[in-house]
């Protein structure tokens, strides 16, 4: 079997992407990066934040279209689709200041409603929400069999969204909405009202991010993340008295994700879960995991450029 290089969130950092591909031994021929024995699977989040949105898509898209790479959808591509999809009285993702700001770098290079913008959105629609093979799994944020089961009847035969799926997503109480949020943005764990906190951006929150790859043998406080906010040791001790968050069964094959803006020296998150997002658009690194079929991923197989 040919090897696969899993590449994490790029967010418009095309210079780092080209350097990473070259470091991995890919050569550009007829405008398409390629390798004689390997291919790439991109983890999504190609757009927003970074300096070269268009250049990034001009590298990634030909690789996918020429069979040199596959890609799954990230929450930023999903948000871009929702931002561009009209409803009866607005858009699936409202054009409010916060959403416009988050999407500004992309819209600067793909003016809203322009032919290039429409073309990019229709390409995003061709990205599957996850890839499930016998040997490995790929999803942007959370490997969740229950969410896949809910979504499957609503996806196309290539695992993609349809207009109908988007209209189901509009209903925030629907199973489809929650499943898409879980797999593309990661599961959140509701906290009792006394635990409401303010994250590092000053936004009040009543839910913590669940590190779904952690085992329920760990203390509750070690399984949750508070948007960069630090809780006092007393509060953490109180959290440990709460019931354990929902368990996500440990995968039985390697699972590759992005999304988590990790820092520091790359390594697997758990025995079989690998995150390849090392915050390139916030001064970190663009990361890849060079996989050659090993059932247990190892630290040595990460390759990064900063």
**SS3 (DSSP) at 123:** helix
CA distances from 56 to 10, 53, 91, 152, 267 (A): 8, 5, 26, 30, 25
Give me the phi and psi of 60, to 5 degrees please: -70, -45
Please enumerate in sequence order all residues whose Cβ is within 8 A of that of 233, keeping only pairs 6 or more positions apart, or say none.
none
Closest distance to Mn ion from the beta carbon of 260 (Å)? 8
* Burial bucket for residue 8 (CB in 10 Å: 0-12, 13-18, 19+): buried
Residues forming the site for Mn ion (CB under 5 A): 45, 74-75, 259
Contact 74, 138 (CB under 8 A): no
Choice between 45 and 52, CB closer to Mn ion: 45
Contact 51, 12 (CB under 8 A): yes
Closest distance to Mn ion from the beta carbon of 248 (Å)? 18
Which residue of the chain is nearest Mn ion when measured via CB?
A: 259
Please enumerate in sequence order all residues whose Cβ is within 8 A of that of 13, keeping only pairs 6 or more positions apart, or say none.
50, 51, 52, 56, 280, 281, 286
Choice between 102 and 126, CB closer to Mn ion: 102
How far apart, in whole angstroms, are the C-alpha atoms of residue 141 and residue 208? 15
Cβ atoms within 10 Å, residue 234: 8
Closest distance to Mn ion from the beta carbon of 79 (Å)? 9
Choice between 226 and 260, CB closer to Mn ion: 260
Closest distance to Mn ion from the beta carbon of 219 (Å)? 27
CA angle 31, 36, 41 (to 5 degrees): 75
Choice between 239 and 304, CB closer to Mn ion: 304
Choice between 195 and 213, CB closer to Mn ion: 213
Specify the residue for token string 């190892």. 298
Choice between 18 and 45, CB closer to Mn ion: 45
Closest distance to Mn ion from the beta carbon of 74 (Å)? 5
Distance, CA of 18 to chain centre? 20
Closest distance to Mn ion from the beta carbon of 185 (Å)? 7
Choice between 75 and 279, CB closer to Mn ion: 75
Closest distance to Mn ion from the beta carbon of 258 (Å)? 6
Closest distance to Mn ion from the beta carbon of 295 (Å)? 26
Choice between 10 and 32, CB closer to Mn ion: 10
* Strand order across the 188-190 sheet: 188-190, 207-210, 224-225
Instruction: Note the residue count of the chain.
Output: 306
């Amino acid at each position: 079997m040919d090897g696969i290089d899993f590449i994490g969130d790029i967010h418009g950092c095309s210079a780092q992407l080209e350097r990473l591909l070259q470091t991995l031994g890919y050569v550009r021929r007829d405008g398409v990066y390629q390798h004689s024995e390997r291919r790439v699977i991109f983890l999504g989040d190609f757009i927003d934040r970074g300096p070269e949105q268009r250049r990034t898509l001009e590298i990634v898209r030909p690789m996918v279209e020429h069979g040199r790479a596959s890609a799954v959808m990230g929450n930023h591509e999903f948000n871009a689709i929702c931002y561009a999809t009209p409803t009866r009285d607005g858009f699936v993702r409202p054009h409010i200041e916060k959403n416009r700001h988050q999407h500004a770098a992309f819209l600067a290079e793909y003016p809203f409603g322009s032919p290039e913008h429409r073309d990019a959105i229709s390409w995003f629609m061709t990205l599957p929400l996850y890839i499930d093979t016998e040997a490995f799994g790929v999803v942007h944020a959370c490997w969740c069999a229950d969410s896949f089961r809910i979504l499957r009847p609503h996806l196309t035969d290539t695992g993609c969204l349809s207009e109908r799926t988007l209209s189901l997503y509009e209903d925030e109480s629907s199973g489809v909405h929650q499943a898409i949020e879980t797999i593309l943005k990661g599961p959140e764990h509701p906290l009792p009202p006394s635990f409401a906190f303010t994250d590092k951006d000053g936004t009040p929150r009543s839910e913590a991010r669940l590190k779904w790859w952690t085992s329920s043998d760990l203390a509750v406080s070690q399984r949750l993340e508070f948007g960069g906010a630090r809780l006092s040791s007393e509060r953490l001790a109180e959290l440990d008295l709460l019931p354990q968050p929902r368990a996500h069964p440990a995968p039985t094959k390697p699972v590759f994700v992005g999304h988590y803006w990790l820092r520091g020296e790359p390594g697997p998150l758990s025995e079989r879960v690998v995150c390849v997002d090392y915050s390139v658009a916030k001064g970190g690194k663009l990361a890849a995991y060079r996989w050659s079929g090993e059932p247990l991923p190892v630290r040595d197989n990460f390759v990064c450029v900063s």
